[in-house]
Structure 1
């Protein structure tokens, strides 16, 4: 993978700016953080917007393939001694020294042709019994021009994501669709409307009005479908097989 401009290619945004979505980032964080330990590696961390929400960790390692994004993160986290920032492409070798308790990969796995091999590689960076928390685009029915532009190999269902996790020799602790209303909005904008890039004005309105409703609905109802799929994969403890 050419690392030059990888952040823009993967997100449709530039390093200098983009649509701010504080409510959506917090929604993601509240889904992901409870499954993380005290030491976390985030792969494909971009500009560190999600990672900045972590506090009180013993260690936080942030990586991205794009050197420009890595430089932005180094400046952003310069005053946080628990944070390490490195350039890293999933599938390459990353020397961590001490393994971490958890890996977080948000909108990363869908870019990789051999997803099970990538998960096996990430599993080598975590402690026995540790977690890999995945947040990926959901449902091939939503695949559209934006997915093609940013290099998505696929979108996932809970079943296809669980299959990749098991092929990697990991256990599936949790897998479910999330963001039902986002999925409906994405289908209308991308599949029916043919949108190739996010509209910043619509993204801001979605963040302000739709995300709070999504939170309220998903507190009481498990959505049957969603814009994304959340999965918690568990590395087997030493000497045991994955469940």
Structure 2
């Protein structure tokens, strides 16, 4: 990921793989697939598919009688995803923008976006695109974290809050879009079927540090003068010493295009 405040982010492919392999990642991703209720013969769209980590599972669910379309903005991610699903010819990966999906109107039965809407320029436009591409009665599931809900123990509560404020204001474009997704869907003309919350719990500091960016974003907050170095350093030392716990809400918003 890109450098920010002189601190280099993790490699994207490695990061996505770590999320998918973690207990926390597997848990909410399983909920997304359950909400979509994929069946053989369906056409499924994965918006912001990244390196294609989840495409094989969707492909196996719809079988060779169905179609899976992955879309990502970054050519490097598209290349990775195509290589990952090369043995499944019913999967197609396209380069494209979530604001203007390279998919015909009313052409997909199921769609999903996993931790993607938090990064886009216009979340409302993305929901409008879901409505455009879904067939009448088609279902989509949007999974987004709410970074303002991050809780960490042990450590000073005010420092935890200052960390959250920095991440929400500076590091993530739409840091609280998870809580907004149902409203945005309704405004786009979609029917909200359900809003499910998942609260993945991390008890291993090293894993949480890699996925939640505790050390790197604390250093960024210090360099941005949002935390003083002594406070930030002490907070990291306390939570690293453990016993440790961290959790944040993930909203899974399940919507349907009206018939």
**Structure 1 length-normalised TM:** 0.69
Question: In 2 relative to 1, CA 98–59 (structure 1 residues): closer, same or farther, beyond 3 Å?
Answer: farther
Residues 1:17 and 2:14 are matched in the alignment: yes
1:32: Cα distance to partner? 0.9
> Following superposition of structure 1 onto structure 2, how do residues 226-241 of structure 1 map, counting pairs within 5 Å?
226-237=248-259
The C-alpha deviation readout for 1:113-133, integer Å capped at 9, x for no partner, is 432221011221111111110
Structure (1 or 2) with the larger CA radius of gyration: 2
Tell me what 1:168 maps to. Answer: 188
Tell me what 2:199 maps to. Answer: 179
C-alpha separation in 2, matches of 1:164 and 1:87 = 25
Residues 1:43 and 2:47 are matched in the alignment: yes
Tell me what 1:31 maps to. Answer: 31
Larger helix share, 1 or 2: 2
> Following superposition of structure 1 onto structure 2, how do residues 117-136 of structure 1 map, counting pairs within 5 Å?
117-136=125-144
> Following superposition of structure 1 onto structure 2, how do residues 80-99 of structure 1 map, counting pairs within 5 Å?
80-96=88-104, 99=107
1:71: Cα distance to partner? 0.6
The C-alpha deviation readout for 1:17-76, integer Å capped at 9, x for no partner, is 346342444323320112324321001111111222221311110111110010111111
**Structure 2 length-normalised TM:** 0.65
Tell me what 2:175 maps to. Answer: 154
C-alpha separation in 2, matches of 1:231 and 1:97 = 21
C-alpha separation in 2, matches of 1:78 and 1:197 = 36
The C-alpha deviation readout for 1:161-207, integer Å capped at 9, x for no partner, is 21111111111111132125359x8xx979xx953359xxxxxxxxx
Secondary structure at the residue paired with 2:196? strand
Residues 1:70 and 2:74 are matched in the alignment: no
Secondary structure at the residue paired with 2:14? coil
Residues 1:138 and 2:137 are matched in the alignment: no
C-alpha separation in 2, matches of 1:137 and 1:81 = 32
C-alpha separation in 1, matches of 2:73 and 2:57 = 21
Question: In 2 relative to 1, CA 167–84 (structure 1 residues): closer, same or farther, beyond 3 Å?
Answer: same
Q: Answer whether contact 2:191 2:258 (CA < 8 A) is retained.
A: yes
Secondary structure at the residue paired with 2:109? strand
User: Which has the higher mean CA deviation after the structures are superposed, 95-104 or 164-173?
Assistant: 95-104
C-alpha separation in 2, matches of 1:146 and 1:52 = 32
Q: Answer whether contact 1:182 1:226 (CA < 8 A) is retained.
A: no
Q: How many residues align?
A: 198
C-alpha separation in 1, matches of 2:189 and 2:132 = 11
C-alpha separation in 1, matches of 2:200 and 2:87 = 38
C-alpha separation in 1, matches of 2:130 and 2:189 = 12
